[in-house]
């Protein structure tokens, strides 16, 4: 997979300046001639002039200044505003290039919940991969703009039909290999039931209590999480 991108400037009028216009102004700055720049770029002189005039009309500034005649012949130079425009474009391009070469990949944030009643722990049967058909602690991904505590309550309600309140933090689990889909970091809470009728929903085909002493095969690192909880309780 490759990262591809295009960069252009717009105003309320729409498109103003992009890669083609940038390359044209760079060539004009280098060669001192719109005609020579158009030849090198393989476009007509008329098209080059039209592109420059469109930029100037949309921005309300002059980007080139042409000087005619003289012993050295005519010459076209970029104005100070024209130079600022290409410098600004290059500045943004450098940001894109850096991101392309140094992508900042962040782990996903999830929550898992421990609900224990009378020596039994609530588990859900996973409806989807990974670990489809295995049991796991209720949990899921934290949404953008959401507190982890809010995510825990929401996921618990969606997957089990139960409203809960947070009792305490069990721990944070961040092994990059704990989830085969991607690097996920989970925050685990012990919760207490407030109300609701137990019923599997969302990603859970069922939700039921199991004796802690007789747990089924579990997904992810959830057995390790439960063992850590039991150590805290002892």
Q: Is the pTM of this model over 0.85?
A: no
Q: Name the catalytic one among 54, 150, 206, 224.
A: 206
* Polymer length in residues for the chain: 234
Contacts of 19-27 spanning 24+ positions with Cβ under 8 A: 20/51, 21/51, 21/52, 21/55, 22/86, 22/89, 22/90, 24/48, 24/51, 24/52, 25/52, 25/63, 25/64, 25/78, 25/82, 25/85, 25/86, 26/86
The domain 9-101 is placed in CATH, from the list 1.20.1420.20, 1.10.10.10, 3.40.50.10490, 3.90.1150.10, at 1.10.10.10
Domains in the chain: boundaries? 9-101, 108-233
Topology of 108-233 in CATH? Nucleoside Triphosphate Pyrophosphohydrolase (3.90.79)
54 has catalytic annotation: no
pLDDT (tens place) for every residue of the chain, 234 residues total: 566 667 888 877 777 888 899 999 999 999 999 999 999 999 999 999 999 998 898 888 899 998 775 444 568 999 999 999 999 999 988 888 877 777 777 899 999 999 999 999 999 999 999 999 999 999 999 999 999 999 999 999 999 999 999 999 999 999 999 999 999 999 999 999 999 999 988 778 999 999 999 999 999 999 999 999 999 998
């Amino acid at each position: 997979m490759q990262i591809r991108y295009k960069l252009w400037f717009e105003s309320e009028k729409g498109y103003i300046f992009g890669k083609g216009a940038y390359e044209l102004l760079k060539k004009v700055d280098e060669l001192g001639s719109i005609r020579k720049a158009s030849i090198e770029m393989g476009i007509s002189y008329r098209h080059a002039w039209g592109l420059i005039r469109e930029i100037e009309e949309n921005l309300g500034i002059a980007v080139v200044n042409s000087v005619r005649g003289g012993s050295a012949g005519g010459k076209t130079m970029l104005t100070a505003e024209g130079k600022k425009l290409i410098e600004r474009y290059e500045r943004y391009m450098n940001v894109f290039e850096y991101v392309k070469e140094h992508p900042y990949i962040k782990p996903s944030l999830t929550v898992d919940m421990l609900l224990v009643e009378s020596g039994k722990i609530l588990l859900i049967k996973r409806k989807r991969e990974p670990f489809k058909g295995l049991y796991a602690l209720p949990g899921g991904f934290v949404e953008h703009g959401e507190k982890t505590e809010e995510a825990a309550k929401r996921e618990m309600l969606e997957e089990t039909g139960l409203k809960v309140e947070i009792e305490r933090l069990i721990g944070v689990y961040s092994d990059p290999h704990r989830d085969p889909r991607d690097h996920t970091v989970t925050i685990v809470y012990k919760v207490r039931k407030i109300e609701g009728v137990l019923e599997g929903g969302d990603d859970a085909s069922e939700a039921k209590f199991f004796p802690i002493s007789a747990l089924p095969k579990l997904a992810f690192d959830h057995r390790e999480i439960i063992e850590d909880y039991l150590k805290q309780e002892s």
